[in-house]
Structure 1
Amino acid sequence: MLYTLAGIVALKKDNFFVLEVGGFGIKVFAPLNVLRDLQMGKTTKIFTSFKVKEDAFEIYGFLNEEEMNFFELLNSVNGVGPKTALNIMNIDVFDRLVAAISEGKVELLTKASGIGKKTAERVILELRGKLGREGTMELVGIMESDHDIVEALVGLGYTKSQAKSAISKVDEKLKKLEERIKAALKILKNG
């Protein structure tokens, strides 16, 4: 998968930009802070999240790894797709969003387009333990392995929704990939 891209910013729109890389113009969706900071005609390196949909491939771009990991973490919440994750990231600066989730501030999250009270509560419930007290990511490694586990479970015939739901129920104390896979499979088996 793509982890980073480097190229020249050729075009900026409301919710995406085009990065010229090796003669190709790559459409990259991004949060508003990224779009604000990009300079037309300048060479830029971005961290990417690559999403496969039934009818399209989409790339989401971030200026640093921490924000990319936060996006992935938001996207791991049941009912939060990539566009909704971007909407959440657009309501405030990164540190305040992390603090709001850690402190259970539902009202801030509901400012995002497409986020109601129940979804905001689910985001807080599922992510609160995965964010550090001072706004740092503690479990980025687990989150990245969880993404791999979801892909593996989908390959075994489970839906993405079933896989994400099972992963969200796996004990946070389990750190090793194989332990987390076994626990997720057990959860799915016991239904």
Structure 2
Amino acid sequence: MFYYLEGTVALLQQGLVVIDCGGVGYACHASQNTVGSLKMGARAKLLTHLNVREDIFELYGFSDEEERSCFEMMIGVSGVGPKAALSILSVAPPDRLALSIITGDEKLLTQAPGIGKKIAQRIILELRDKMSKEQLEAGASAVPAAQAFAAGGANHTQEAVAALMVLGYSQAEALAAMKGLDTAHMEADEIIRQSLEEARGTVRSRNT
């Protein structure tokens, strides 16, 4: 129903942003990373997710597509609601979160208030399993990242490919974004960061 909101930042609070769009103020729950990227009175564009449940009608706002993708995947995990997903995104930006899921780093997830070890383990297991199924359905074979993790043989490039898939990119898009990078001499987090810059630049050029 709402894909994004664009307007003037009218209010910034912990976990909440109000965007004035033509005289109407839309309240969006947001991570501290998103809140921290905005300025009062400045123009802003937030991608959104509408949560409708019984008598609940809430908007959630995100500074970029990767954050929204992580949020939507996490609320698809059993026992993880929107507030828990925002709590996690407030302590870890999408690139770090995706890598922690791929590498099984539950400690990063448990830094978020209200997220215990069991929930962190469930997020990691369910999202890894989801990624594996998507690879199989797509017939992906160039870098069988999820299978490599199961076998304990993933390298930094495979970790980066899998992390980008958690962020909503296909395996083909991830590999295309890495083209030209000297991945053999880079850590996974640096591969992810540079690949995201390339992927975002490609999207922007397509939209202009």
Q: Give the TM-score taking structure 1 as reference length.
A: 0.69
Residue 138 of structure 1, CA deviation = 5.8
How has the CA–CA distance of structure 1 residues 63 and 26 changed in structure 2, closer, same or farther, with 3 Å as cutoff?
same
Gaps of 5+ in 1: 143-191
Structure 2 counterpart of 1:76: 76
Secondary structure of 2:39's aligned partner: coil
Structure 2 counterpart of 1:98: 98
Residue 141 of structure 1, CA deviation = 8.3
How has the CA–CA distance of structure 1 residues 85 and 139 changed in structure 2, closer, same or farther, with 3 Å as cutoff?
closer
Residue 94 of structure 1, CA deviation = 1.9
In 1, distance between residues paired with 2:102 and 2:26? 35
Residue 101 of structure 1, CA deviation = 0.6
Comparing 8-17 with 131-140, which one deviates more in the overlay? 131-140
Structure 2 counterpart of 1:75, which letter? I
What are the superposed Cα offsets for residues 23-56 of structure 1, whole Å, 9 maximum, x if unpaired? 1111011111110110111111111011013222
Contact 2:66–2:167 (CA<8 Å) still a contact in 1? Answer: no
Structure 1 counterpart of 2:18: 18
Matching of residues 129-168 of structure 1 within 5 Å: 129=129, 130=131, 133-134=159-160, 135-137=163-165, 140=168
Residue 3 of structure 1, CA deviation = 0.8
How has the CA–CA distance of structure 1 residues 93 and 140 changed in structure 2, closer, same or farther, with 3 Å as cutoff?
closer
Structure 2 counterpart of 1:16, which letter? L
In 2, distance between residues paired with 1:141 and 1:96? 15
Fraction of identical pairs, as percent: 44
Structure 1 counterpart of 2:111: 111
Contact 2:98–2:166 (CA<8 Å) still a contact in 1? Answer: no
Structure 2 counterpart of 1:44: 44
Structure 2 counterpart of 1:12, which letter? L
In 1, distance between residues paired with 2:47 and 2:12? 17
Structure 1 counterpart of 2:89: 89
Residue 98 of structure 1, CA deviation = 0.8
In 2, distance between residues paired with 1:139 and 1:34? 16
In 1, distance between residues paired with 2:164 and 2:51? 24
Gaps of 5+ in 2: 133-144, 146-158, 171-208
